[in-house]
Structure 1
Amino acid sequence: MTDYITTKDTAKLVRAALKNAFPGVKFSVRMSTGTAAAWMNVSYSDGPTELEVRAITGWFEGRHFNGMTDGYDDAGTVLVAGDGEEMPREVRYCCDGINSHREYTAAGYRAAQHLIRTDSDHKDLVLFTPEGEPIDNAVLPTGLYVAGHYIDFLYSPTQVAQAILHRVNLCTVTTPAR
């Protein structure tokens, strides 16, 4: 027999899974309302990359939106292990999708500045003050290699940092030790 897990109960499981996977990072997990009531939004500052978060949250989606057909593909059921000698149970999550959104704090922007100074040929490139505020009149190169990635769409100091930070896990950089 299949157990159906409501979106509200799935949100609790997502919170617990993210807290377990990324201790010290504060996640906001909210259910949508209205016609999108089966959707969730996960937001957080700094911490893991969005790909790392999606690797966790993807397990809790009962359906996946398919842009090619403009419809949903059923994710099917999953087996959830029980406690001790208890048999696994078959579960279907009622959540249609989980969106994630990552913000960057001043500490995150300082980490991006550090990466630019240590990983690029532009050791003199200063995009942020020590407080993490962007210096909007910074002279930007036409391209930049940072952490093994070439970034060629340089528009503003903030966008340069976001392009860098999009690929960087900031859990150990900006999360205070406990």
Structure 2
Amino acid sequence: MSTMIPTKDVAKLLRTELRAAFPGVKFTVRCSTGTASAWMNVSWADGPTTGQVDEIAGRFEGRKFNGMTDSYDHQGSVLIAGQGAAMPEEVVYGCDGILTARTFTAAGHLEAQRVIETDSSIPYVRVCDEDGNLLKGAGNLIRPGDEVQIAGHGYSDWMDVHQAAHLALYERDLTPARTK
């Protein structure tokens, strides 16, 4: 027989797991309220990529929303190791979904500028000032019909400084160096 772990307790487990995996990165893990009370929101600045966080967070979802059937698919139970010599316990996480959101600080914007200057096909484009503040009113970085390379990927759509910074850092892990 499985034990159901409530979403609030799942949030504590997820927070602990994220802190262990990415020391030095501050994560905010919040439970939703109302009809979405079995959902969680995870946010952080710079640090690991969204894919890295999604990989860990996905293990804590008891159900996942299936847009094809407009319903939830149960993920089954999980065995959790017991304390000391205790036997593992079979549990079901009471979380229906976890939404993740990564933002960037001034340090992240400076890293995006460095990536764009080194890896981009847009010459002399500035996305931030020397303090890492994104430029305001910089307009489009890509003219219609042009293609731009950022971090090894080609883009030909409209793009502003926010999008350029996000694309430059999308696959880049900015987690502080881990010490042993």
The two structures share one fold, judged by TM-score above 0.5:
yes
1:144 paired with 2:132, answer no
| Structure 2 residue identity aligned to 1:147 | A
Let me know the Cα RMSD of the aligned residues. 2.0
| Structure 2 residue identity aligned to 1:113 | Q
| Corresponding residue number in structure 2 for 1:133 | 133
Contact conserved, 2:122 with 2:149, CA < 8 A, in 1? no
Contact conserved, 2:23 with 2:178, CA < 8 A, in 1? no
| Corresponding residue number in structure 2 for 1:161 | 165
**Cα distance, 1:151 vs structure 2:** 2.9
**Cα distance, 1:176 vs structure 2:** 10
**Cα distance, 1:166 vs structure 2:** 2.1
Contact conserved, 1:49 with 1:167, CA < 8 A, in 2? yes
1:120 paired with 2:124, answer no
| Corresponding residue number in structure 2 for 1:86 | 86
| Corresponding residue number in structure 2 for 1:11 | 11
- Which range moved further: 140-149 or 43-52? 140-149
What pairs with 1:23-172 in structure 2 (closer than 5 Å)? 23-135=23-135, 136-137=137-138, 140-141=141-142, 142-172=146-176
- Which range moved further: 77-86 or 38-47? 77-86
| Structure 1 residue identity aligned to 2:28 | S
Change (3 A) 1:38 1:19: same
Once the two structures are superposed, residues 82-134 of structure 1 have per-residue CA deviations (whole angstroms, 9 ceiling, x without a partner) of 23432221110011111111111111111100001122344522221111223
| Percentage of pairs with the same residue | 48
Question: What is the DSSP-based 3-state SS (H/G/I as helix, E as strand, rest coil) of the residue aligned with 1:171?
Answer: coil
Question: What is the DSSP-based 3-state SS (H/G/I as helix, E as strand, rest coil) of the residue aligned with 1:150?
Answer: strand
Once the two structures are superposed, residues 5-62 of structure 1 have per-residue CA deviations (whole angstroms, 9 ceiling, x without a partner) of 1111101000000000111010111111111111111111111111111100101100
Change (3 A) 1:85 1:44: same
Instruction: Find the aligned partners of 1:170 and 1:17 in 2 and give their Cα distance.
Output: 18
Contact conserved, 2:140 with 2:160, CA < 8 A, in 1? no
Question: What is the DSSP-based 3-state SS (H/G/I as helix, E as strand, rest coil) of the residue aligned with 1:127?
Answer: coil
Q: What TM-score results when the alignment is normalised by the length of structure 1?
A: 0.89
Please list every run of at least 4 consecutive aligned residues from structure 1 whose deviation after the TM superposition is greater than 6 angstroms. Answer: none
**Cα distance, 1:145 vs structure 2:** 2.0
Residues matched between the structures, number: 175
